[in-house]
Amino acid sequence: MADSTSTIAPVRIVALGGLGEIGLNLLAIESAGSAIVIDCGVMFPEHPEYGEGVLIPDFSWLDRSGARFEGVVLTHAHEDHIGALPHLLSKINVPVYASDVTLAFARRRLAEGPFAGEAKLVPIRPRRPFSLGPFEIEPIRVTHSTPDSLALAIRTPAGLIVHSGDFKIDESPIDGEHFDRERFAELGSEGVTLLLSDSTNVERAGRSASESSLKPVMREIMSRTKRRFFLSAFSSHLHRFRQLTEVALECGRRVVPLGLRMSESVRLGMETGQLSFSPGTFIGATEADFLDPARIACLTSGSQGEPLSALAKLSAGTHPRIQIEPGDVVVLSSRFIPGNERAINNLINRLYRLGAEVFYEAVAPVHVSGHASRDELADLIALVRPKYFVPIHGEFRHLARHLALAIETGIPERNCFLLQDGESLVMDRNEARRGRDVQAGRVMMGEGGEAGDPSVMGERRVLAREGTVTAVLIVSAKTGKLIAGPELISRGLVSGDGTSEHMRRVRRELEMRLNEFDGPLRAGEVALRDEVVSIVRRYFIDELGRRPIIVPHVVEV
């Protein structure tokens, strides 16, 4: 597996994303001049309404490390683990290793850009090790909310590392592929040096419910639905789509994927064998026009209130093919991601106004988490029995509580490390210790896959919070005197039609100061423009505590 020099080389684990937030997952492992990357995800911004695109990890360290990157290994198909892959491969075009389902979704993501090269996508299987440089990597089957999810056992010159990926311990998985307890226990007996473990649900006591527990809930709701049934979930949630389809067939319904991404996900599910149903089970929205609404079950994106999703269009009455009507039932089969609550609640209210009945996690058991709760996290630690422990995948409070849980289970406190993005851990045969910090952060990617201009994004936020004022001045080209105006137009600040007392007062003040301006008023005079901006902005800061964007416009006639 490794040559004589690499067997004595230290190993460095570098966190570039996912440690301190939910999303943006990217971890690098480096040794003997070689490195591998585990996952490469995106994170959605707190204010998507500003048109900010998505956030990807800062890849600067990858360029500067000097390491030879051997490959990218993906644990599963969720966007927070594969969404930034095209951007990464644009910088380091290396082979990508993942399970069949994950590769299918990665292939779709790569086709959407900005990567224009030819990617080498290599399928991997549980319990079948492969080598990358000084690392031998063994995939291990875990259960999660998307099929074909994997943990990784990584044999390195400094010992065995286990990376849990996203997981829960589902005792009755939809596809019959169980969490591989036996292999984790064998690794524990072999001797695990370091466990990196998913922290998402550490605040939840007990165990996460099985994915299969949703099927009877769907059956009960659908059986009493008089018209169309809509299920909204993440587009990679093939397990949930399978259950919905099975229940729909029991109830004599055809399944209609709404939206391009949902249709593509169903196609990928059929290609990978995750949605093995007879021809005619899935139909298009056009075909659904000819069926009784009581014979239709729709799959739709938009459970997080995304403004351009099919469900958002349905709730607004703007969907081109289908209209929500009284008697329809909508099931939001996902948790409310923090920050999305207002958008989701507005969506639900709109659906109710159209006469639909809506089920969501707060009112019915229509969603189960794909992440391990506290008892399952303790189970994995007990199975693996690591010498060292690092919590991953979570906000800071999740990492801190998971660290405390590891100490409760018996791992010495000195052997538990709480890392955040940009921090590293160095291991050799004798010890693990904190390494040097590296550059890490978030990069905004706008439309078309190009880096978003921070100044533009900042202006959008200011416009949303503070508003804007345009000041129009007409000056004489001959005399340099003010002959008309200033006219002030406000948006998002105060009434912009001239009726606001604030607008009248700031206009008078600006006119008075311009009459005292030193020198002629000229359209190209920078000092004049600066003076207009300063006067108007200072007024609104003093009077309203607001800092609007000021746009001066000087016209010579």
Distance (Å, whole) CA 432 – CA 429: 8
Q: Are strands 135-141 and 150-156 parallel, antiparallel or unpaired?
A: antiparallel
Nearest to 267, CA basis, from 244, 240, 238 = 238
Beta strands at 194-198 and 159-163: parallel, antiparallel or unpaired = parallel
Which residue in 179, 172, 163 sits closest to 212, CA to CA? 172
Closest listed residue to residue 42, CA positions, set 61, 15, 23 = 23
Distance in Å from the first CA to the final CA of the chain: 80
Is CATH 1.20.1250.20 what the domain over 10-206+369-449 is classified as, yes or no? no
Active site residues: 198, 371
Displacement of CA 179 from its chain's centroid (Å) = 25
* CA atoms within 13 A of residue 131's CA, in its CB half-sphere: 7
The dotted CATH code for 218-359 is 3.40.50.10710
Q: Give the list of residues 6+ apart from residue 197 with CB closer than 8 angstroms, or none.
A: 164, 377, 380, 381, 389, 390, 391, 392, 402
- Is 210 within 8 Å of 240 (Cβ atoms)? no
For residues 23 and 44, what is the distance between their CA atoms, to the nearest angstrom? 8
- Tokens found for residue 146: 């998307």
In order, the DSSP letters of 387-408 are SEEEEESEEHHHHHHHHHHHHH
Tens digit of pLDDT at every position of the chain (557 positions): 444 444 578 999 999 999 999 899 999 999 999 999 999 999 876 655 445 568 899 999 998 999 999 999 999 999 999 999 999 999 999 999 999 999 999 999 999 877 777 899 999 999 999 999 999 999 999 999 999 999 999 999 999 999 999 999 999 999 999 999 999 999 999 999 999 999 999 999 999 999 999 999 999 999 999 999 999 998 889 999 999 999 999 999 999 999 888 999 999 999 999 999 999 999 998 898 889 999 999 999 888 888 888 999 999 999 988 999 999 999 999 888 766 788 889 999 999 999 999 999 999 999 999 999 999 999 999 999 999 999 999 999 999 999 999 999 999 999 999 999 999 999 998 899 999 999 999 887 765 555 555 555 566 666 667 888 888 888 777 777 777 778 888 887 776 555 678 888 888 888 888 777 776 777 777 877 888 888 888 888 888 888 888 888 887 77
Hey, what are 485's tokens? 């105006």
Residues 6+ positions from 35 with CB-CB distance below 8 Å: 28, 29, 65, 67, 68, 69, 70, 133
pTM: 0.82
Domain boundaries in the chain? 10-206+369-449, 218-359, 467-556
pLDDT at 451: 54
Return the CATH number of the domain spanning residue range 467-556. 3.10.20.580
Who contacts 320 (Cβ-Cβ below 8 Å, separation ≥6)? 313
542: left (phi over 0), alpha (psi -120 to 50) or beta: alpha
Total number of residues shown for the chain:
557
- Side-chain-side CA neighbours of residue 127 (13 Å): 8
Rounded Cα distance between 151 and 153, Å, is 7
What is d(CA 319, CA 334) in angstroms, rounded to the nearest whole number?
A: 22
pLDDT of 5: 43
Instruction: Specify whether the CB–CB gap between 513 and 527 falls below 8 A.
Output: no
Q: How far apart are CA 387 and CA 416, in angstroms?
A: 9
Q: Are 196 and 154 in contact (CB under 8 A)?
A: no
DSSP calls for 132-169: ETTEEEEEEE-B-SSSS-EEEEEEETTEEEEE--S-B-
Q: What pLDDT is recorded for position 535?
A: 85
